[in-house]
Structure 1
Amino acid sequence: MNERILLDSALRYFLEIVRQGSINKASQQLHVAPSAVSRQIARLEAELGSQLFERHSSGMKLSPSGELLAAHARKTRLETARVIEEITGLEGIQRGTVRLASIEGLASYLLPHVISEYREKHHGIHFDLAVMSSTEVTQRVCEGLVDIGLAISPAPEKNIQVEKRIMAPIHAVMHSSHLLATKKHVSLAQLSHYPLALPTENTTIRQLFNVSCSRQGLLIEPVMVSNFVTTLVHFAACQGGITLIGDVSVRHLSDAAQITSLPIRDREMSGRTIEVQTLAGRTLPKGVADFLGDLCLALEPDKA
């Protein structure tokens, strides 16, 4: 059964305009004429007695009334999809799809373990995982495009339900034969004497690293910079240098890689948090809610 059967066309068209930013782009995605989309929006505005969009040369922006309707329409669409699954027998934890958005580090190391363990119990549950920045994760959750989001140190958002929040300190990762590998912990001052491979400037790890180095007057030039966490970890595994990664991801690094991870003493390197996010006010399908419980449990330090 298609959700279009139970979801009013005007709301579907409205949401597509919100997503695309223009009537023409929305009509292309919907495969209907622009005039048909315009009529539906005009009908909505007439019935509500309020302008839903502000028209600009760059596109269409939601008015305050439009913002309220968008939040309602997104929840309506999600609830419709949940009801359809229940009616057609797809509800529960026997069959269904869990849609996830996550930052790369957690998507590369934590989530594959949690998902594979969950599917050992529930073979009928499928997963759709998108990797993106923390800001984009939160946006996807707010728009109802994913069921669960995993973000790092996000700003508060009124439409987000925080299902779990934990501290996510940063570790130094190196080959097990490295001279520092036998220590219990390290400092950035110690790391400054060795080649470092670091994430790009727009990541929380790099930003906290820069703040800590600035405070201590450390001048550290990385030998490699990458926007892919897995590349940095493989570089460390190849004995190219030391990299930095969150402790939650560290727990799931392959033992076969001969990698050692050490806590970093500098206080700024413990300033990150991980949030598990869902859309506020939404009733999750049973399969999604069940997986969410396993995911939150897996984030506990003693559950690694």
Structure 2
Amino acid sequence: MRKVSFAEFGGPEVLQLVDAEEPHPGPGQIRVAVRAAGVNPVDWRLREGQVLGAHPIELPAGVGLDAAGVVDEVGEGVDGVEVGDPVFGEGSDTYAEFAVLSAWARMPEGLTFAEAAGYPSVMETALRVLREVGVRAGQTLLVSGASGGVGSAVLQIARDRGIAVIGTAGAANQDYLRELGAVPTTYGEGWVERVRGLGRVDAALDLAGSGVIRELVELTGDPRRVVSIADLGASEFGVRFSGTAGSMREALAETVDLIGRGRLRIPVEKSYALTEAAAAHIDSRAGHTRGRRVVIV
């Protein structure tokens, strides 16, 4: 089979499309014929060797955690899923023609494989940081970098829970944030004053890592009311950096519920072929996303 791999840490140029042996599921796992794989910042962070403490890697290594596809092998002890079922979930080396998943759910009706591949990691992350920041119904949450995949999920989950959201994004994404139920404003010079003019901020999330931790603490008045998923220096300000994943199975179940109730939809901004994995990483690293990027297999 074909898969994207890298034999050394470095820039996107280290990614190669190689022929590899097909993986097979162990106990409690399934294998899917991958139709699409989600592109996440952790993919290029791992390729660059940034987060080896949390995610040890043995080279050469594959790329990708999220996938949507058709079940074609079922591991020992697995029930509730059969060969031929369309599923989405999390596994390893998902930029490939076949991948093993350790957590999955049946794809909701009406979703394409490309759309479904964009949900697992961003939904687990969104649900986790909302829990960690402790924001409740009736309060106001500030989301810095609100138009990307995690931001899109956070805004819609918050709306479903009765949490008001102020979101920062580029000028081109202001209407998009409004569509998701947020009060939008642009980042850049004067953004703190613009946020203050929109009202009280009870909690804040840093999703973009754009050097705004100090300002988020000022706006909330308490570093314990700020959580970052993108600024590795957040702890210098007493702010929690959230990098440890929670239960993917629970996140997928909530994803299915929200989609089924018409409360969640994350668009695919751009899709790439397996041969374009390097371009996908370059675009993901540049940010300014509206929704998700996926690799089509």
TM-score, shorter chain, exceeding 0.5: no
Q: Which has the higher helix share?
A: 1
TM range (shorter): under 0.3
Could you tell me the TM-score, scaled by structure 1's length? 0.25
TM-score scaled to structure 2, two decimals?
0.25
Which structure's residues are more often strand, by fraction? 2
Structure 1 or 2, whichever has the larger Rg, is 1
